[in-house]
Amino acid sequence: MAELTPDARMGKPPVVAPGYTPGSVTDKISAIVLTRTPRWWWVAFGLSFLLMQALLVGVAYLFFEGVGIWGVNNPVGWGFAIINFVWWIGIGHAGTLISAILLLLRQEWRTSINRFAEAMTLFAVACAGVFPLVHLGRPWLAYWLLPYPNTMGLWPNFRSPLIWDVFAVSTYATVSALFWYVGLIPDMATLRDRSRRRWKKIVYGFAAMGWRGHAAHWHNYEVAYLLLAGLATPLVVSVHTVVSFDFAVGQIPGWHATIFPPYFVAGAVFAGFAMVLTLAVPLRQAFALQDFITMRHIQNMAKVMLTTGLIVAYGYLIEIFMAFYSGNQYEEFMLLNRIQGPYKLHWWALLLCNVLAPQAIWLRKVRSSPWLVFLVAMFVNVGMWLERFVIVVTSLSREFLPSSWGTYSGTRWDWAIFVGTIGLFLSLLFLFVRFLPMISIFEMRTILPEAKSVHQRPEEADA
Amino acid sequence: MAQIFHRSTNTVAKVTLFGAVFFVAVAGWVAATLDRSAYSTRQGVVREQPVPFSHDHHVVALGIDCRYCHTAVETEAFAGIPPTTTCINCHKLIWNESDMLAPVRASLAEDTPIRWTRVHDLPDFVYFDHSIHVAKGVGCATCHGRVDQMPLVYQAASLQMEWCLECHRHPERYVGPREQVFNMAWKAPDQATLGPALVAEYHVDPRTDCSTCHR
Amino acid sequence: MSRFLTRDGKRLYGLMAEFDSPEKLVHACEAASEAGYTRLGAYTPYPIEAVWEAIGHHRSKLPLIVLAGGLAGAAGGFLLQYWASVHAYPLNIGGRPLDSWIAFLVPAFETTILFASFAAVLGMFFLNGLPQPYHPAFNVPRFAEASRDRYFLMITTKDRNFEPAAVRELLAGLGPVEVNEVED
Amino acid sequence: MTDGIFPSTATAPGARKDLSLGAVRERLAGAPGRAYWRSLEEAAATPEFEAMVHREFPQLAGEWQGDGVSRRNFLRLMSASVAFGGLTACTRQPLERIVPYVAQPEEIVPGRPLYFATGMERDGYAVGLLAESHMGRPTKIEGNPEHPASGGATDLFAQASVLDLYDPDRNQTVTQLGRIRTWRAFEEAIAGRLAAAPAGLRLRILTPPVTSPTLAGLIATVLAEQPLASWHQYAPVAADHGIEAARRAFGRAVAVRHDFSRADVVVSLDADFLTQGPGAVPYAGQFMSRRRARRGATDLNRFYAVETTPTATGSVADHRVAATTGELGAFAAALAAAVDGGTPGGGRLAELAAVVARDLERHRGRGLVVAGPHAPVAVQVIAHGLNEALGNVGATVSYHEPVEAEPQDGLASLARLAADMSAGQVDVLLVLGGNPAYDAPADLDFAAAMQKVETCIHLSLHADETSEYCHWNLPAAHYLEAWEDHRAFDGTVTLTQPLIEPLYGGRSAAEVLTLFTAAGPRSGAELLQATWRRRLGDGFDAEWRRCLHDGFVPDTASPALAAPLDAGALAAARADLAKLPAAGLELCFRPDPTVYDGRFANNGWLQECPKPLSKLTWDNPVLVSPALAEERGLVNEQKVRLTVDGRSLEAAVWIHPGQPDGALSLSLGYGRRRSGRVGTGAGFDANRLRTTANPWAAPVDLEPLAGRYPLASTQLHSNIAADRFQGTNLEGREAASRHLIRQATVEEFERQPDFPHHVGHGLDESLSLMPGWDYSEGHAWGLSVDLNTCMSCNACVVACQAENNIPVVGKDEVAKGREMHWIRIDRYYEGALDDPAMHHQPVMCMHCEQAPCEVVCPVAATVHGDEGLNDMVYNRCVGTRYCANNCPYKVRRFNFFKYTDTETPSLEMMRNPDVTVRGRGVMEKCSYCVQRISQARIAARKEDRRVRDGEIRTACQQVCPTGAIVFGDLNDETSRVARLKAEPHDYGLLTELGTRPRTTYLAKVGNPNPEWPARASGAGESPHHG
């Protein structure tokens, strides 16, 4: 109980409700996967799957007709596709952050949320991955972005941020998947040993790779896990930095800003935690996991969200400041145009969602009510999408030559494909919670009093 | 608990994990070779023609010069395909009964062109100019192969971009004396010394800019 | 190839004691190694460093493997770009130098991470001898609890001074829930 | 009325039971152009039609049979398989056929284009051209450098005429009452009809103004043979007032010619002489030759423009005054008074007139007053008077024998014809070209009159409104298909020779007319040779060959004459000026800058070509001044009802800076009911409000309506969407503060020749971390644009479109901002929007040495060549559109859909074989006409020499009437472009971004009159320092 007493003194809720043993934890979590499918799951999955059809139809029509079915034009060459791409990628970041960075920072409260946060990362990246592909004028030639020896003797242009994207995003997807799977192995063993049905034993058995929990296994395993965390941390930072380069390397007023990398990364974590909360609050309700995903988690995540939110707000502030301080008339106009131009509504709405709404977290009352936190998170989800809209569209619509100004608005196909990816995301998520342990079982065991009672070096407390 | 898997699965599992790497490599190699194969380039594949015209016979046996039929090769981008009348010039006198030449006579009689199948067919977005290559001493055979030894013409080279680039980057390996351009059989005694000399003399400076061929 | 047989005449792989608390396991490990046994298998539902120390631990080689992977990724990634842009098809792109090494750093960084991560995962598999879906330990029905809340110690017949009776006696003396034969 | 069935037609081949004309009209009534055509295409499927096709034009048989169809299917297959083919790494092209000639024509060498001198006629006047022909297919029009009306340049109409040739909606067969007939049937019909009327036929011949000696001769013959026949000339945009004015001023028809190159002061009284009228191209050249400011050469002319509608011409004026017709008259009167030494009277106009008068006085014999052909007759008479009084006659103005064979006041002539027709006095109406049923003044109700005619015959390129009312419709030969002779604005006889067999068996007006002569049918070639054999006399053959080669007959310009001015006429004119309406709202009718009088309505290139000032495409809204809009609460795209003495028309509104508050403007040529798939239904039909009494300006009632009508402009997309910034000229202010247009007055220029470099943000280009690229070896291509001599005539825009196979995207896509033009002419208003200064800035790819677009392309589809070209490789492009985003000049164009029409065979024939046709999903942009560069480079290298200066001319440069665009090699100090770039006032656009553009601009240098009185809100009247 040594860990908990200071918390208790500070009136913090515990990381895991008292009275649990490795056995009970194991049974409670594996039960979610191994018992019969609840009816509501079918409903939820069905709906998300239906939603996903919008994506299929949208993309099919897109490939048939061309990107002209979208609102994109000259000068606004990028629209929803890139907005959604950045939005989804950003969301993904929280997962890696929780599982990697918090691990290195020995935040043991990460334990009960890192598993599905990582899953969320994977699915978000999957959704994001759709867009760079389909937004091409000739998507069937997308493979030309990969460096491979071809009969034309040609290679990609490695100076282009889009190529950096290809490397960054594909690496991110791969490493996240590896990290996630490695984390799953011991739990796969648990499920292998718990499940009654033979086919389940075989499937989980294969996934477990014959994990036996041998002391030597555990040793190498922990080293590997720590190293992966160490690698994932700079990776996750690099990914959104690279994404921000898509804009920062361009020279459009509103894109060409050195503040972008840090402020994109912060924004990503901001958006990510918002999404984790958006998922965690209903899930803990649905599966009665209040004992494992406690108010402690909700509050901590809310606080991280608030902090990163403030960093993002600082980013906005600096943008405004630099616009005038730099004395660059294009920057100045860009900003005035955001404030009072054709897209002023988006800009003000963005401030409301991303700067104003999160301030509610300061209030203990809000912090300690899951559903209020959930509400704030929803605001942030919308706000971060708007942020990307403002960056992409408002900047492009009015840049250097007034003769070439234009306007942009998404068509029904833009929306169909966007909504469709949300469907894809949810479908994957529901499949995940049904077939895999949404909380890392073996890590939960390590934070139980029983485990702590064994004298061991402190740093293993979290690992 | 009872064993789920048989002993052998250990080996199987390890092998699959390891083999995956090789599978990917092999797949890539297959794709690459297929892309360069005669299947996709039609290299060395004889095309069906309405009239089985033999360059072998006309060039070697009869000693007709390329330019007798491909008249524009020295002045134009397009070397030119002979009109029916060119064939008839001779064939009104010789072989004027042969069934083989029936389509030619028909073409003249009905004033309908002969529809040959194109052998060297670059994509529409590639602009090739015969005249400049001839002017800089690139022999016919360099790209078209020993047409004089082809009873039926096939495409000697792959005509893929990497193939074009090879010569545009190392002209000295291929250029010959202007007077030998139409000599199919000509071989440089010593290309290593001749090539660079000619490149200097003819001011051969082949460009690898995209707009050289694509516009 | 085992020299011993189980009661019902199968080949014996080792003897396995089941404990109901980590402390007992740790104590058992220490006792077993003091008794001179080296081929010990200690199985726990979650990592317990004390156990690893008790059965003669050594440092993992994994970090070196990962380092190698990382270096390979960095070099490979950068050289690919350098070669492609400077030698394979040198192109004037926006008046930038052929060797725009600053730009090349970004993909090179990503390849570094990618290779290092693969090295970490595959290296871990290699060091742990995974995948290994079949293992004699699974022959003990109770062993399923190793992934829940029970702690197991196994002394295998590979051990030089393995003597069924002696081992059984030793294990029985360590306060196990029960001791089982592990058939090969 | 009896339906016009000739006795002989019953026996005509393939004749079936004849429908009544009424029935046909019923069947076709209300059917849109395409439906109308479908009915004919159905007919075209009949075997007798097939037979006729073979008989009449075998060269097309292939086209009509399976061939064309299979080709279309093939292409459709291809476009589909692209996706799948692309998916697999190895795309395998289908086998291609190669089809040589059976007997190769001498002059044709496959792959090498041939150039023929020919001439294009519009309203009787010809422009000399060189037509480029690939394997017998005309693909591009250039100006004829030897020709007085061209000087090597052309206007946009000539450029677009190629598209008309291949227009799939052209009249493809002879039809009678909508049924397919053959020429033979028609010939027999005519012969029979003539035979049936021994006393002579009450024949009426309606033509546009005729200058053609051959045609005029034929008409004379017909009139001689047919005592009851008569000839009427009408064109909606003819210079009727000019003819009338000359008749009053000089008592006879006179051709007035100007010499702008010698004029130091030019005053325009509502004259759009730079872009309208038969002499526009050479006039623009002369005028702009006096607007080129160079170091040490600042002898610019000064130009005052008084306009009822803002025009391209007015937009380049040093001082521009917006005036209603009444105010125009007042100004003219005041000017005349002031020049006479009298008092111009009070008011601002008088004040201005006094200033102008003083300026003119100061430049006696070196000034020039030009009145527009549509200005009131009195104003034009006054203009004649002024030139006389100022001693300009003989210097900058000269009078000549009329060019037209028989100058007529077309309106009067048409009115007489309409009267005869309604009175049933006409047996046969022969309409040779023109479309009176559409463009005749409303009060004549020409269509109704036509129904009273026994037989109407219409010769035209398209089946139009008039065809609908005609019994016989004859396919006309396009000028690239016909033998003709027409005279240029100066009278030079220009020869039109065919480059291609008539695609649809069309015939020329002369050829049709021969059917009405005793001599019977003759071919255009015969007629032409007959005419000229007479005139050229001995040695005809050699002489004739030379004329054909040159494209015109030398020394045929109409001789000068002395035209004494009738003083009485002047007095009368002043009296008339006083009568002009002083107050009240008026509606001005003007020829449209791109579709002219509607004859080009079905030409996609011209429909999509942005109007010089409004930048609108595909429409002709009512132009209203910002003040009027505010007063009446009008917004862009709002619908209004216009009522001119009882007749009303619903149209959309466009707020047009520089429009006089008292005048609306509506251009002709729109609201076509029968024009084809492109033109039908676009815009509003101004002719429904036009009357013989008020053909150019009429008092009007304006009634705002609730509805909206979307308009597509290539600029101000944002302002159209919602009326934000309405009236605040945000664009103009930003443009000024960003120093996009840099300008000075002559004085300022002389004081500080490098003034453009003292505004805006410079950039020290040495401040780069990266080593730069060296272009000093070989060629370094660059381009210079002189902002002072660009008047936004759009010739370059269309020329570029023709040269580079640029697709037409249609109104909706333009509205979305997806137009494809590689060169656009940016228009900026400076100062208050009610009377702003106007600036034009042609923007094409800048070929930046440090191109922002190239760096961001992931697949290296756009890269730099060693000669500094920014190459765009379509076949490598995957379509990320990142390059377009990152291009600060926004010159990149993306194929959001498959815009290029590859399904229509006739359009395939039109394409330039030297330029790749772009498919869906690829980026494209100005390439400095790289195909021309490559060809010149290859030619030079074959001869082991450098490319010479002037050997390569970009399409836009070649067509420009004022030589505002110059392309060449920057490494050659002696090249024209290098010298221009050495000028002190050469500056680059947005150079502070470090892009190092290869395209740069010569700053504007204006020559305002210091005496010009500023007015309270008078921003923009005189150019301000950028």
Residue A9: band (very low, low, confident or very high) from pLDDT cuts 50, 70, 90: low
| Contact indicator for D291, D253 with CB cutoff of 8 Å | no
Same domain assignment for residues D662 and D804: no
Which of residues D64, D88, D112 is at a domain's end?
D88
Q: What is the pLDDT of residues D762-797, one digit of tens each?
A: 777 777 777 788 899 889 999 999 999 999 999 999
**Considering Cα of A173, then A179, then A182, then A183, what sign does the dihedral take?**
negative
- Residues A165-188, mean pLDDT to the nearest whole number: 94
Q: Using an 8 Å CB-CB cutoff, list residues of chain C that contact chain B.
A: 89, 125, 131-134, 138-141, 143-144
Q: How far is CA D416 from CA D222, D236, D421, D425, D757, in A?
A: 19, 15, 9, 11, 63
Query: What residues in B contact A202, CB-CB < 8 Å?
Result: 4-5
Tokens standing for residue D34: 């395409």
State the angle between helix axes of A111-134 and A80-96 in degrees (0 to 180), rounded to the nearest 10: 160
Which residues have a Cβ under 8 Å from the Cβ of D750 and sit 6 or more positions away? Answer: D298
| Contact indicator for D242, D216 with CB cutoff of 8 Å | no
Residue A451: band (very low, low, confident or very high) from pLDDT cuts 50, 70, 90: confident
Q: How far is CA D803 from CA D166, D493, D603, in A?
A: 15, 28, 16
Q: CB D317: neighbour CB atoms within 10 A?
A: 24
Same domain assignment for residues D545 and D610: no
Q: Residue A157's closest CA among D849, D855, D869, D922?
A: D855
Q: Which of C49, C100, C114 sits opposite A456 (nearest CB)?
A: C49
Tokens standing for residue D495: 């020869």
Q: For the CA atoms of chain D, what is the radius of gyration?
A: 29
| Contact indicator for A438, A116 with CB cutoff of 8 Å | yes
Residue D487: band (very low, low, confident or very high) from pLDDT cuts 50, 70, 90: very high
Q: Which of A26, A155, A220 sits opposite C124 (nearest CB)?
A: A220
Q: CB C159: neighbour CB atoms within 10 A?
A: 16
How confident is the model at residue D672, as a pLDDT?
93
Q: Which of A196-200, D38-42, D180-184 has the lowest mean pLDDT?
A: D38-42
Average predicted confidence (pLDDT) for chain A: 90
Question: Hey, is D123 helix, strand or coil?
Answer: coil
How far is CA A101 from its chain centroid? 14
Residue D33: band (very low, low, confident or very high) from pLDDT cuts 50, 70, 90: very low
Quick check: is D136 in a domain? no
The CA distance from D724 to D747, in Å, is 38
Tokens standing for residue D329: 């008259």
Tokens standing for residue D376: 């009131």
Q: What is the pLDDT of residues D188-232, one digit of tens each?
A: 999 999 998 888 889 999 999 999 999 999 999 999 999 999 999
How confident is the model at residue A7, as a pLDDT?
58
Quick check: is D165 in a domain? no
The CA distance from A109 to A301, in Å, is 10
Query: What residues in D contact C95, CB-CB < 8 Å?
Result: 770, 772-773, 849-851, 864, 996
Q: For the residues of D37-59, what is the DSSP string, one character each?
A: HHHHHHHHTSHHHHHHHHHH-GG
CB contact under 8 A, B10 and C133: yes
The C residues from 100 to 129 touching D (CB cutoff 8 Å) are none
How confident is the model at residue A454, as a pLDDT?
66
Single-letter amino acid, residue D324: T
Q: Residue D988's closest CA among D850, D821, D838?
A: D850
| Contact indicator for A403, D990 with CB cutoff of 8 Å | no
- Residues D119-138, mean pLDDT to the nearest whole number: 91
CB contact under 8 A, D864 and C97: no
- Which H/E stretch holds residue D159? helix D156-166
- Residues C73-84, mean pLDDT to the nearest whole number: 96
DSSP strand pairing (D781-786 vs D965-969): antiparallel
Q: Which fold has domain C12-57+135-183?
A: Alpha-Beta Plaits (3.30.70)
Q: Give start and end residues of each alpha helix (H) in D290-324.
A: 312-315
Rounded to the nearest angstrom, the minimum Cα separation between C92 and chain A is 11
Where is pLDDT greater, at D761 or D951? Answer: D951
Query: What residues in C contact B2, CB-CB < 8 Å?
Result: 138-139, 141
Given CB atoms, is B107 within the 8 Å cutoff of chain D? yes
Peptide bond into D521 cis (omega under 30): no
The CA distance from B167 to B204, in Å, is 11
Q: Which structural domain range is residue D533 located in?
A: 174-233+406-553
Domain ranges of chain B: 11-41, 55-81+118-212, 82-115
Q: Residue A341's closest CA among A390, A400, A411, A386?
A: A390
How many C-D residue pairs are in contact by the CB < 8 A criterion?
A: 35
How confident is the model at residue D13, as a pLDDT?
34
Give the number of residues written for chain B. 215
Q: Residue D496's closest CA among D470, D532, D443, D464?
A: D532
Same domain assignment for residues D928 and D868: yes
Question: Hey, is A38 helix, strand or coil?
Answer: coil
Q: Which of B196-205, D125-134, D907-916, D1007-1016 has the lowest mean pLDDT?
A: D1007-1016
Percent of chain A at pLDDT exceeding 90: 70
DSSP strand pairing (C12-19 vs D114-122): unpaired
The CA distance from A197 to A209, in Å, is 18
Rounded to the nearest angstrom, the minimum Cα separation between C59 and chain D is 45
Q: How far is CA D441 from CA A179, D237, D418, D602, D668, in A?
A: 81, 12, 11, 22, 11
CB contact under 8 A, A212 and C146: yes
Q: Residue D808's closest CA among D672, D677, D636?
A: D677
- For A163, list phi and psi in degrees, rounded to 5: -70, -40
3-state helix, strand, coil in chain B (%, to 5): 50, 5, 45
Half-sphere exposure of D516 (CA within 13 A, CB side): 29
Q: How many domains does chain D have?
A: 5
Query: Is 80 exceeded by the pLDDT of residue D85?
Result: no
Q: What is the pLDDT of residues D151-187, one digit of tens each?
A: 899 999 999 999 999 999 999 999 999 899 999 999 9
When scoring B1, B3, B4 by the number of chain A Cβ atoms within 10 A, the one with the most, hence best to mutate, is B4
Q: What is the pLDDT of residues A18-61, one digit of tens each?
A: 888 888 889 889 888 888 888 999 999 999 999 999 999 999 99
The CA distance from D940 to D949, in Å, is 12
Rounded to the nearest angstrom, the minimum Cα separation between D864 and chain C is 5
Peptide bond into D100 cis (omega under 30): no
Single-letter amino acid, residue A51: L
Q: Is D843 exposed, middle or buried (0-12, 13-18, 19+ CB in 10 A)?
A: buried
How confident is the model at residue D581, as a pLDDT?
80
Residue A449: band (very low, low, confident or very high) from pLDDT cuts 50, 70, 90: confident
Query: Is 50 exceeded by the pLDDT of residue A458?
Result: no
| Contact indicator for B76, D135 with CB cutoff of 8 Å | no
CB contact under 8 A, A205 and B1: no
Q: Give strand pairing partners of D638.
A: D708
Q: Which of D103, D874, D917 sits opposite B85 (nearest CB)?
A: D103
Q: CB D777: neighbour CB atoms within 10 A?
A: 9
Q: What is the pLDDT of residues D371-428, one digit of tens each?
A: 999 999 999 999 999 999 999 999 999 999 999 999 988 899 999 999 999 999 999 9
How confident is the model at residue D24, as a pLDDT?
41
Query: Is 50 exceeded by the pLDDT of residue D945?
Result: yes
String of b and e for C44-54 (b: at least 16 CB within 10 Å)? bbbbbbbbbbb
Tens-binned pLDDT, residue by residue, of chain B (215 aa)? 568 888 888 899 889 888 888 999 999 999 989 888 888 888 888 888 899 899 998 988 888 999 999 988 998 888 888 999 888 888 888 888 888 889 999 988 898 888 899 899 888 899 999 999 999 999 999 999 999 999 899 999 999 999 999 999 999 999 999 999 999 888 888 899 999 999 999 999 998 999 999 98
Query: What residues in A contact D730, CB-CB < 8 Å?
Result: 402
Q: pTM for this one?
A: 0.90
- Residues D617-628, mean pLDDT to the nearest whole number: 92
String of b and e for A229-254 (b: at least 16 CB within 10 Å)? bbbbbebbbbbbbbbbbbbbbbbbbb
Same domain assignment for residues D666 and D719: yes
3-state helix, strand, coil in chain A (%, to 5): 75, 0, 25
Same domain assignment for residues D426 and D394: no
The C residues from 49 to 88 touching A (CB cutoff 8 Å) are 49-52, 55, 57, 60, 62-63, 66, 77, 80-81, 84-85, 88
| Contact indicator for D693, D615 with CB cutoff of 8 Å | no
Q: Residue D651's closest CA among D624, D631, D630?
A: D624
Q: CB D604: neighbour CB atoms within 10 A?
A: 23
Q: What is the CATH number for D465?
A: 3.40.50.740
| Contact indicator for D496, D119 with CB cutoff of 8 Å | yes
Half-sphere exposure of D162 (CA within 13 A, CB side): 29
The CA distance from D824 to B177, in Å, is 49
How confident is the model at residue D4, as a pLDDT?
37
Q: Is C113 exposed, middle or buried (0-12, 13-18, 19+ CB in 10 A)?
A: buried
Tokens standing for residue A276: 């984790």
Q: Tokens 């660009």 correspond to what residue? A: D790
Q: Which of A152, A201, A206 sits opposite B161 (nearest CB)?
A: A152
Single-letter amino acid, residue A244: S
Supply the ipTM of this predicted assembly: 0.92
Query: Is 70 exceeded by the pLDDT of residue D717?
Result: no
Neighbors of chain A by Cβ distance (3+ pairs < 8 Å): B, C, D
Q: CB D385: neighbour CB atoms within 10 A?
A: 25
Domain ranges of chain C: 12-57+135-183, 62-127
Q: Which of B5, B160, B162 sits opposite A205 (nearest CB)?
A: B5
Average predicted confidence (pLDDT) for chain D: 85
Q: Which of A149, A206, A210 sits opposite B32 (nearest CB)?
A: A149
| Contact indicator for D914, D935 with CB cutoff of 8 Å | yes
